[in-house]
Protein backbone atom coordinates (compact mmCIF):
# COMPACT_ATOMS: atom_id res chain seq x y z
CA UNK A 1 0.00 0.00 0.00
CA UNK A 2 1.00 3.63 -0.49
CA UNK A 3 2.95 5.42 2.18
CA UNK A 4 0.95 7.95 4.13
CA UNK A 5 2.08 10.86 6.20
CA UNK A 6 1.91 10.15 9.92
CA UNK A 7 1.75 13.09 12.32
CA UNK A 8 2.38 12.69 16.04
CA UNK A 9 -0.14 15.01 17.67
CA UNK A 10 0.95 16.83 20.81
CA UNK A 11 -1.31 17.66 23.69
CA UNK A 12 -2.98 21.01 23.30
CA UNK A 13 -1.69 23.91 25.34
CA UNK A 14 -4.74 26.08 24.81
CA UNK A 15 -7.25 26.06 27.61
CA UNK A 16 -9.77 28.12 25.71
CA UNK A 17 -10.69 25.48 23.18
CA UNK A 18 -14.00 27.02 22.16
CA UNK A 19 -12.39 30.29 21.10
CA UNK A 20 -9.63 28.43 19.36
CA UNK A 21 -12.18 26.31 17.49
CA UNK A 22 -14.06 29.44 16.37
CA UNK A 23 -10.81 30.97 15.16
CA UNK A 24 -9.95 27.82 13.21
CA UNK A 25 -13.41 27.74 11.62
CA UNK A 26 -12.91 31.35 10.49
CA UNK A 27 -9.50 30.56 9.00
CA UNK A 28 -10.95 27.60 7.13
CA UNK A 29 -13.81 29.76 5.86
CA UNK A 30 -11.31 32.28 4.50
CA UNK A 31 -9.49 29.50 2.70
CA UNK A 32 -12.74 28.01 1.36
CA UNK A 33 -12.24 24.67 3.13
CA UNK A 34 -15.14 22.81 4.75
CA UNK A 35 -14.11 20.62 7.68
CA UNK A 36 -16.35 17.72 8.73
CA UNK A 37 -15.75 16.01 12.08
CA UNK A 38 -16.80 12.36 11.84
CA UNK A 39 -17.19 10.46 15.10
CA UNK A 40 -18.32 6.99 16.21
CA UNK A 41 -17.64 3.98 18.42
CA UNK A 42 -14.79 1.64 17.53
CA UNK A 43 -15.76 -0.70 14.71
CA UNK A 44 -18.83 1.17 13.49
CA UNK A 45 -17.53 1.33 9.93
CA UNK A 46 -16.22 4.91 9.72
CA UNK A 47 -13.46 4.08 7.27
CA UNK A 48 -15.61 1.97 4.94
CA UNK A 49 -18.31 4.66 4.99
CA UNK A 50 -15.75 7.32 4.18
CA UNK A 51 -14.33 5.36 1.26
CA UNK A 52 -17.81 4.93 -0.26
CA UNK A 53 -18.70 8.57 0.33
CA UNK A 54 -15.46 9.94 -1.06
CA UNK A 55 -15.73 7.81 -4.18
CA UNK A 56 -19.14 9.41 -4.80
CA UNK A 57 -17.83 12.93 -4.20
CA UNK A 58 -14.28 13.03 -5.49
CA UNK A 59 -15.20 14.08 -9.03
CA UNK A 60 -17.26 16.97 -7.70
CA UNK A 61 -15.19 18.11 -4.72
CA UNK A 62 -11.50 18.15 -3.90
CA UNK A 63 -11.34 16.01 -0.77
CA UNK A 64 -8.67 15.13 1.80
CA UNK A 65 -8.91 12.97 4.90
CA UNK A 66 -7.24 13.16 8.31
CA UNK A 67 -7.44 9.90 10.23
CA UNK A 68 -7.00 10.13 13.97
CA UNK A 69 -5.89 6.97 15.66
CA UNK A 70 -4.04 6.11 18.80
CA UNK A 71 -1.14 4.53 17.04
CA UNK A 72 -1.84 2.57 13.86
CA UNK A 73 -1.89 3.99 10.33
CA UNK A 74 -3.99 1.25 8.74
CA UNK A 75 -6.98 3.51 8.09
CA UNK A 76 -5.14 6.30 6.31
CA UNK A 77 -3.43 3.76 4.05
CA UNK A 78 -6.74 2.03 3.35
CA UNK A 79 -8.48 5.27 2.39
CA UNK A 80 -5.64 6.44 0.17
CA UNK A 81 -5.47 3.07 -1.59
CA UNK A 82 -9.23 2.83 -2.12
CA UNK A 83 -9.98 6.40 -3.16
CA UNK A 84 -6.72 7.87 -4.42
CA UNK A 85 -7.27 11.05 -2.40
CA UNK A 86 -4.67 12.45 0.01
CA UNK A 87 -4.98 10.97 3.46
CA UNK A 88 -2.87 11.73 6.50
CA UNK A 89 -2.72 9.88 9.78
CA UNK A 90 -2.82 11.71 13.10
CA UNK A 91 -1.42 9.82 16.04
CA UNK A 92 -3.02 10.98 19.24
CA UNK A 93 -0.53 9.15 21.46
CA UNK A 94 -3.18 7.55 23.64
CA UNK A 95 -5.35 10.63 23.84
CA UNK A 96 -9.03 9.95 23.53
CA UNK A 97 -10.15 12.97 21.52
CA UNK A 98 -9.01 15.83 19.32
CA UNK A 99 -9.46 19.49 20.17
CA UNK A 100 -9.11 22.48 17.83
CA UNK A 101 -5.37 22.89 18.34
CA UNK A 102 -4.73 19.21 17.70
CA UNK A 103 -6.89 19.42 14.57
CA UNK A 104 -4.87 22.44 13.46
CA UNK A 105 -1.63 20.44 13.85
CA UNK A 106 -3.09 17.99 11.34
CA UNK A 107 -4.37 20.66 8.93
CA UNK A 108 -0.91 22.29 8.89
CA UNK A 109 0.26 19.24 6.99
CA UNK A 110 -2.20 19.69 4.12
CA UNK A 111 -2.03 22.25 1.30
CA UNK A 112 -5.46 23.64 2.22
CA UNK A 113 -5.88 25.77 -0.90
CA UNK A 114 -6.06 22.51 -2.86
CA UNK A 115 -9.19 21.23 -1.07
CA UNK A 116 -12.91 21.97 -0.75
CA UNK A 117 -13.58 19.36 1.91
CA UNK A 118 -11.43 17.87 4.64
CA UNK A 119 -12.90 15.02 6.66
CA UNK A 120 -11.52 14.43 10.13
CA UNK A 121 -12.08 10.85 11.26
CA UNK A 122 -11.98 11.31 15.01
CA UNK A 123 -10.87 8.70 17.61
CA UNK A 124 -13.36 5.82 17.98
CA UNK A 125 -15.12 6.86 21.18
CA UNK A 126 -18.65 8.09 21.94
CA UNK A 127 -17.67 10.06 25.04
CA UNK A 128 -14.67 12.37 24.90
CA UNK A 129 -14.67 13.54 21.26
CA UNK A 130 -18.16 14.99 21.83
CA UNK A 131 -16.78 17.34 24.48
CA UNK A 132 -14.28 19.14 22.27
CA UNK A 133 -15.09 21.47 19.40
CA UNK A 134 -12.53 20.61 16.72
CA UNK A 135 -13.20 23.71 14.65
CA UNK A 136 -15.24 21.68 12.14
CA UNK A 137 -18.20 23.27 10.34
CA UNK A 138 -20.38 20.26 11.16
CA UNK A 139 -20.26 17.13 13.28
CA UNK A 140 -21.51 13.81 11.98
CA UNK A 141 -21.51 10.44 13.65
CA UNK A 142 -21.97 6.84 12.66
CA UNK A 143 -24.06 4.53 14.81
CA UNK A 144 -23.88 0.92 13.68
CA UNK A 145 -26.84 -1.43 14.05
CA UNK A 146 -25.06 -3.96 16.31
CA UNK A 147 -24.47 -1.20 18.90
CA UNK A 148 -28.20 -0.89 19.51
CA UNK A 149 -30.87 1.80 19.05
CA UNK A 150 -30.57 2.88 22.71
CA UNK A 151 -27.21 4.60 22.31
CA UNK A 152 -28.69 8.15 22.19
CA UNK A 153 -29.99 7.47 25.71
CA UNK A 154 -26.58 6.42 26.97
CA UNK A 155 -24.31 8.89 25.18
CA UNK A 156 -26.47 12.02 25.20
CA UNK A 157 -23.81 14.62 24.45
CA UNK A 158 -22.53 12.85 21.34
CA UNK A 159 -26.00 12.81 19.82
CA UNK A 160 -26.69 16.41 20.87
CA UNK A 161 -23.65 17.81 19.06
CA UNK A 162 -24.14 15.91 15.78
CA UNK A 163 -25.97 17.36 12.81
CA UNK A 164 -26.21 13.99 11.11
CA UNK A 165 -26.46 10.46 12.49
CA UNK A 166 -25.53 7.87 9.88
CA UNK A 167 -26.98 4.47 10.83
CA UNK A 168 -24.61 1.90 9.33
CA UNK A 169 -24.77 -1.89 8.81
CA UNK A 170 -28.48 -1.91 7.99
CA UNK A 171 -27.86 -5.26 6.23
CA UNK A 172 -27.58 -7.02 9.60
CA UNK A 173 -30.75 -5.44 11.03
CA UNK A 174 -32.58 -8.82 10.94
CA UNK A 175 -30.03 -10.33 13.33
CA UNK A 176 -30.16 -7.57 15.94
CA UNK A 177 -32.84 -6.02 18.07
CA UNK A 178 -32.57 -2.64 16.34
CA UNK A 179 -35.62 -0.62 15.39
CA UNK A 180 -35.01 2.30 13.04
CA UNK A 181 -38.12 4.22 14.17
CA UNK A 182 -37.15 3.83 17.82
CA UNK A 183 -33.64 4.95 16.93
CA UNK A 184 -34.98 8.09 15.19
CA UNK A 185 -37.10 8.80 18.23
CA UNK A 186 -34.12 8.47 20.60
CA UNK A 187 -32.01 10.71 18.37
CA UNK A 188 -34.83 13.27 18.29
CA UNK A 189 -34.90 13.35 22.10
CA UNK A 190 -31.28 14.48 22.10
CA UNK A 191 -31.35 16.63 19.00
CA UNK A 192 -34.64 17.36 17.22
CA UNK A 193 -32.87 18.79 14.18
CA UNK A 194 -30.42 15.97 13.54
CA UNK A 195 -30.84 14.05 10.30
CA UNK A 196 -30.80 10.26 10.46
CA UNK A 197 -29.45 8.57 7.32
CA UNK A 198 -29.57 4.74 7.19
CA UNK A 199 -26.83 3.18 5.07
CA UNK A 200 -25.00 -0.05 4.43
CA UNK A 201 -21.39 0.89 3.79
CA UNK A 202 -20.55 -2.68 2.80
CA UNK A 203 -22.95 -2.70 -0.18
CA UNK A 204 -23.09 1.07 -0.67
CA UNK A 205 -26.85 1.29 -0.12
CA UNK A 206 -27.97 4.70 1.10
CA UNK A 207 -24.49 6.23 1.02
CA UNK A 208 -25.59 8.57 -1.80
CA UNK A 209 -27.95 10.34 0.64
CA UNK A 210 -25.04 11.08 2.97
CA UNK A 211 -22.84 12.16 0.05
CA UNK A 212 -25.62 14.44 -1.26
CA UNK A 213 -26.04 16.05 2.15
CA UNK A 214 -22.32 16.69 2.36
CA UNK A 215 -22.10 18.06 -1.19
CA UNK A 216 -24.96 20.48 -0.48
CA UNK A 217 -23.37 21.51 2.81
CA UNK A 218 -20.01 22.29 1.23
CA UNK A 219 -21.59 24.24 -1.64
CA UNK A 220 -23.82 26.30 0.66
CA UNK A 221 -20.99 27.01 3.07
CA UNK A 222 -18.62 28.14 0.32
CA UNK A 223 -21.23 30.52 -1.08
CA UNK A 224 -22.09 32.32 2.15
CA UNK B 1 -38.94 -2.45 37.22
CA UNK B 2 -37.30 -2.28 40.66
CA UNK B 3 -35.83 0.93 41.89
CA UNK B 4 -32.06 1.00 41.94
CA UNK B 5 -29.71 3.22 43.84
CA UNK B 6 -28.15 5.91 41.67
CA UNK B 7 -24.91 7.53 42.82
CA UNK B 8 -23.61 10.74 41.27
CA UNK B 9 -19.86 10.23 41.07
CA UNK B 10 -17.65 13.25 41.65
CA UNK B 11 -14.39 13.91 39.94
CA UNK B 12 -11.47 12.41 41.76
CA UNK B 13 -9.20 14.73 43.72
CA UNK B 14 -6.38 12.22 44.03
CA UNK B 15 -3.58 12.65 41.56
CA UNK B 16 -1.78 9.50 42.64
CA UNK B 17 -4.31 7.08 41.25
CA UNK B 18 -1.99 4.09 41.13
CA UNK B 19 -1.28 4.26 44.86
CA UNK B 20 -4.91 4.83 45.61
CA UNK B 21 -5.85 1.80 43.49
CA UNK B 22 -3.35 -0.38 45.35
CA UNK B 23 -4.75 0.82 48.67
CA UNK B 24 -8.29 0.02 47.54
CA UNK B 25 -7.25 -3.46 46.40
CA UNK B 26 -5.73 -4.07 49.84
CA UNK B 27 -8.89 -2.91 51.60
CA UNK B 28 -10.99 -5.20 49.41
CA UNK B 29 -8.62 -8.09 50.10
CA UNK B 30 -9.05 -7.54 53.83
CA UNK B 31 -12.81 -7.61 53.41
CA UNK B 32 -12.68 -10.70 51.21
CA UNK B 33 -14.26 -8.97 48.22
CA UNK B 34 -13.06 -9.60 44.67
CA UNK B 35 -13.58 -6.65 42.32
CA UNK B 36 -13.72 -7.25 38.56
CA UNK B 37 -13.45 -4.29 36.19
CA UNK B 38 -15.39 -5.05 32.99
CA UNK B 39 -14.76 -2.79 30.01
CA UNK B 40 -15.85 -2.60 26.36
CA UNK B 41 -17.08 -0.39 23.54
CA UNK B 42 -20.64 0.90 23.60
CA UNK B 43 -23.07 -1.80 22.51
CA UNK B 44 -20.77 -4.81 22.86
CA UNK B 45 -23.23 -6.61 25.12
CA UNK B 46 -21.69 -6.01 28.56
CA UNK B 47 -25.03 -6.01 30.37
CA UNK B 48 -26.42 -9.12 28.66
CA UNK B 49 -23.13 -10.95 29.29
CA UNK B 50 -23.22 -9.95 32.95
CA UNK B 51 -26.79 -11.14 33.39
CA UNK B 52 -25.93 -14.57 31.94
CA UNK B 53 -22.73 -14.83 33.98
CA UNK B 54 -24.34 -13.79 37.25
CA UNK B 55 -27.18 -16.24 36.80
CA UNK B 56 -24.56 -18.99 36.53
CA UNK B 57 -22.66 -17.78 39.60
CA UNK B 58 -25.22 -16.42 42.00
CA UNK B 59 -25.83 -19.72 43.81
CA UNK B 60 -22.13 -20.16 44.40
CA UNK B 61 -20.98 -16.60 45.05
CA UNK B 62 -22.59 -13.56 46.63
CA UNK B 63 -22.46 -11.03 43.79
CA UNK B 64 -23.20 -7.31 43.41
CA UNK B 65 -22.90 -5.07 40.38
CA UNK B 66 -21.95 -1.41 39.94
CA UNK B 67 -23.00 0.00 36.59
CA UNK B 68 -21.16 3.10 35.43
CA UNK B 69 -23.00 5.19 32.92
CA UNK B 70 -22.95 8.79 31.90
CA UNK B 71 -26.49 9.43 32.93
CA UNK B 72 -29.04 6.66 32.42
CA UNK B 73 -29.88 3.92 34.92
CA UNK B 74 -31.34 1.43 32.45
CA UNK B 75 -28.53 -1.11 32.90
CA UNK B 76 -28.64 -1.33 36.70
CA UNK B 77 -32.41 -1.80 36.59
CA UNK B 78 -32.08 -4.46 33.88
CA UNK B 79 -29.48 -6.42 35.85
CA UNK B 80 -31.42 -6.26 39.08
CA UNK B 81 -34.62 -7.36 37.40
CA UNK B 82 -32.98 -10.22 35.49
CA UNK B 83 -30.75 -11.62 38.25
CA UNK B 84 -32.24 -10.47 41.55
CA UNK B 85 -28.81 -9.41 42.81
CA UNK B 86 -28.10 -5.92 44.19
CA UNK B 87 -27.12 -3.49 41.48
CA UNK B 88 -26.23 0.15 41.85
CA UNK B 89 -25.84 2.77 39.18
CA UNK B 90 -22.87 5.14 39.12
CA UNK B 91 -23.41 8.34 37.19
CA UNK B 92 -20.11 9.64 35.90
CA UNK B 93 -21.55 13.00 34.88
CA UNK B 94 -20.03 12.97 31.41
CA UNK B 95 -16.69 11.57 32.55
CA UNK B 96 -15.26 8.93 30.28
CA UNK B 97 -13.70 6.59 32.81
CA UNK B 98 -13.58 5.61 36.46
CA UNK B 99 -10.49 5.82 38.62
CA UNK B 100 -9.91 4.21 42.02
CA UNK B 101 -11.43 7.05 44.03
CA UNK B 102 -14.55 7.09 41.85
CA UNK B 103 -14.82 3.32 42.23
CA UNK B 104 -14.50 3.73 45.98
CA UNK B 105 -17.41 6.21 45.97
CA UNK B 106 -19.50 3.45 44.44
CA UNK B 107 -18.28 0.72 46.80
CA UNK B 108 -19.12 2.93 49.80
CA UNK B 109 -22.75 2.35 48.90
CA UNK B 110 -22.57 -1.44 49.18
CA UNK B 111 -22.41 -3.53 52.38
CA UNK B 112 -19.13 -5.13 51.28
CA UNK B 113 -19.10 -7.83 53.97
CA UNK B 114 -22.16 -9.32 52.23
CA UNK B 115 -20.36 -10.00 48.94
CA UNK B 116 -17.66 -12.24 47.45
CA UNK B 117 -17.64 -10.60 44.05
CA UNK B 118 -18.42 -7.08 42.89
CA UNK B 119 -18.43 -6.45 39.15
CA UNK B 120 -17.82 -2.92 37.96
CA UNK B 121 -19.29 -2.33 34.52
CA UNK B 122 -17.11 0.55 33.34
CA UNK B 123 -18.11 3.31 30.88
CA UNK B 124 -18.45 2.04 27.27
CA UNK B 125 -15.16 3.25 25.84
CA UNK B 126 -12.00 1.47 24.62
CA UNK B 127 -9.67 4.36 25.33
CA UNK B 128 -9.87 6.17 28.66
CA UNK B 129 -10.95 3.39 31.04
CA UNK B 130 -7.79 1.47 30.12
CA UNK B 131 -5.66 4.29 31.47
CA UNK B 132 -6.97 4.23 35.03
CA UNK B 133 -6.45 1.46 37.57
CA UNK B 134 -9.81 1.17 39.34
CA UNK B 135 -8.47 -0.93 42.20
CA UNK B 136 -9.96 -4.09 40.68
CA UNK B 137 -8.21 -7.44 41.11
CA UNK B 138 -8.56 -8.17 37.40
CA UNK B 139 -9.62 -6.39 34.21
CA UNK B 140 -11.79 -8.10 31.63
CA UNK B 141 -13.13 -6.74 28.39
CA UNK B 142 -15.75 -7.67 25.87
CA UNK B 143 -15.03 -7.35 22.17
CA UNK B 144 -18.07 -7.98 20.01
CA UNK B 145 -17.79 -9.59 16.58
CA UNK B 146 -19.29 -6.63 14.65
CA UNK B 147 -16.49 -4.38 15.94
CA UNK B 148 -13.89 -6.40 14.01
CA UNK B 149 -10.90 -8.58 14.87
CA UNK B 150 -8.47 -5.69 14.31
CA UNK B 151 -9.39 -3.81 17.49
CA UNK B 152 -6.31 -4.98 19.45
CA UNK B 153 -4.22 -3.19 16.80
CA UNK B 154 -6.14 0.04 17.23
CA UNK B 155 -6.71 0.12 21.00
CA UNK B 156 -3.44 -1.38 22.24
CA UNK B 157 -3.59 -0.27 25.86
CA UNK B 158 -7.05 -1.72 26.48
CA UNK B 159 -5.93 -5.15 25.31
CA UNK B 160 -2.65 -4.90 27.23
CA UNK B 161 -4.33 -4.31 30.59
CA UNK B 162 -6.98 -7.04 30.28
CA UNK B 163 -6.54 -10.54 31.67
CA UNK B 164 -9.50 -11.84 29.73
CA UNK B 165 -10.98 -10.87 26.37
CA UNK B 166 -14.54 -12.14 25.98
CA UNK B 167 -15.48 -12.27 22.28
CA UNK B 168 -19.25 -11.75 22.18
CA UNK B 169 -21.92 -12.12 19.47
CA UNK B 170 -20.30 -15.19 17.90
CA UNK B 171 -23.75 -16.00 16.43
CA UNK B 172 -23.34 -13.24 13.84
CA UNK B 173 -19.81 -14.29 12.84
CA UNK B 174 -21.06 -15.47 9.38
CA UNK B 175 -22.25 -11.94 8.56
CA UNK B 176 -19.04 -10.15 9.48
CA UNK B 177 -15.42 -10.37 8.39
CA UNK B 178 -14.24 -11.60 11.79
CA UNK B 179 -11.72 -14.40 12.16
CA UNK B 180 -11.35 -15.84 15.64
CA UNK B 181 -7.80 -17.11 15.04
CA UNK B 182 -6.73 -13.72 13.71
CA UNK B 183 -8.39 -12.12 16.72
CA UNK B 184 -6.46 -14.40 19.11
CA UNK B 185 -3.27 -13.54 17.30
CA UNK B 186 -3.92 -9.80 17.58
CA UNK B 187 -4.75 -10.14 21.28
CA UNK B 188 -1.54 -12.14 21.80
CA UNK B 189 0.50 -9.33 20.22
CA UNK B 190 -0.74 -6.99 22.93
CA UNK B 191 -0.88 -9.41 25.81
CA UNK B 192 0.50 -12.93 25.41
CA UNK B 193 -1.08 -14.09 28.66
CA UNK B 194 -4.63 -12.86 28.06
CA UNK B 195 -7.32 -15.52 27.75
CA UNK B 196 -9.75 -15.25 24.85
CA UNK B 197 -13.22 -16.67 25.57
CA UNK B 198 -15.74 -16.72 22.70
CA UNK B 199 -19.37 -16.46 23.81
CA UNK B 200 -22.83 -15.65 22.56
CA UNK B 201 -24.53 -13.77 25.39
CA UNK B 202 -27.84 -13.86 23.53
CA UNK B 203 -28.05 -17.66 23.54
CA UNK B 204 -25.74 -18.24 26.51
CA UNK B 205 -23.26 -20.31 24.52
CA UNK B 206 -19.77 -20.26 26.02
CA UNK B 207 -20.73 -18.06 28.98
CA UNK B 208 -20.01 -20.96 31.36
CA UNK B 209 -16.31 -20.76 30.47
CA UNK B 210 -16.23 -17.11 31.53
CA UNK B 211 -18.22 -17.89 34.70
CA UNK B 212 -15.86 -20.77 35.52
CA UNK B 213 -12.82 -18.55 35.09
CA UNK B 214 -14.36 -15.94 37.39
CA UNK B 215 -15.37 -18.51 40.01
CA UNK B 216 -11.85 -19.94 40.08
CA UNK B 217 -10.37 -16.44 40.29
CA UNK B 218 -12.53 -15.43 43.25
CA UNK B 219 -11.83 -18.70 45.10
CA UNK B 220 -8.07 -18.50 44.57
CA UNK B 221 -7.93 -14.86 45.55
CA UNK B 222 -9.89 -15.39 48.72
CA UNK B 223 -7.60 -18.24 49.76
CA UNK B 224 -4.28 -16.45 49.31
ipTM over 0.85: no
**Which of A102, A131, A106 is closest to A119 using CA atoms?**
A106
Span B156-213, pLDDT tens digits: 999 999 999 999 999 999 999 899 999 999 999 999 999 999 999 999 999 999 999 9
Whether the per-residue pLDDT at B1 is higher than 50: the answer is no
CB B187 within 8 A of CB B33: no
**Max CA pair span of chain A:** 47
Tell me which chain B residues have a C-beta less than 8 angstroms from the C-beta of A72. Answer: 153-154
Task: Dump pLDDT digits (tens) for B66-115.
Answer: 999 877 778 889 999 999 999 999 888 777 889 999 999 999 999 999 99
Residue A172 sits at the chain B interface (C-beta within 8 Å): yes
Residues of A with Cβ-Cβ distance to B172 under 8 angstroms: 146, 172, 175-176
Q: What is the pLDDT of residue B4?
A: 65
As a whole number, the mean pLDDT across chain B is: 92
**How far apart are the C-alpha atoms of B12 and B98, rounded to whole Å?**
9
List chain B residues with CB under 8 Å of A147: 41-43, 146
What was the pLDDT predicted at A1? 42
Question: What is the reported pLDDT for A96?
Answer: 86
Separation CA B160–CA B155 (nearest Å): 9
Q: Is B124 on the interface with A (CB under 8 A)?
A: yes
pLDDT in tens, A121-138: 999 999 999 999 999 999
In which band, very low, low, confident or very high, does the pLDDT at B10 lie, cut at 50, 70 and 90? low
Q: What is the pLDDT of residues A11-49, one digit of tens each?
A: 555 568 989 999 999 999 999 999 999 999 999 999 999
Put simply, whether A171 touches B (Cβ < 8 Å) is yes
The whole-angstrom distance between B212's CA and the closest CA on chain A is 27
Query: How far does the CA of residue B30 sit from the closest CA of chain A (Å)?
Result: 34
Residues of chain A scoring pLDDT < 50: 1
CA distances from A154 to A45, A193, B76, B138 (A): 20, 19, 13, 25
* Nearest CB to A144 within list B146, B156, B169: B146
Cβ-in-10-Å burial (0-12, 13-18, 19+) of A48 comes to buried
pLDDT at B69: 83
The 10s digit of each residue's pLDDT in B108-136 is: 999 999 999 999 999 999 999 999 999 99
pLDDT at B87: 92
Amino acid sequence: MDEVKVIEIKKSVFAANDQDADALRKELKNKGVYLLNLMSSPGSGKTTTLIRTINLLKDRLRVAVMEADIDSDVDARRIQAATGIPSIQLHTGGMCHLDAEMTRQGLDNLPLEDFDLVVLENVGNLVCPAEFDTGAVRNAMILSVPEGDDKPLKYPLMFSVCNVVVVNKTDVMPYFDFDLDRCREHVRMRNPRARVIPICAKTGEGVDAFADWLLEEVKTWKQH
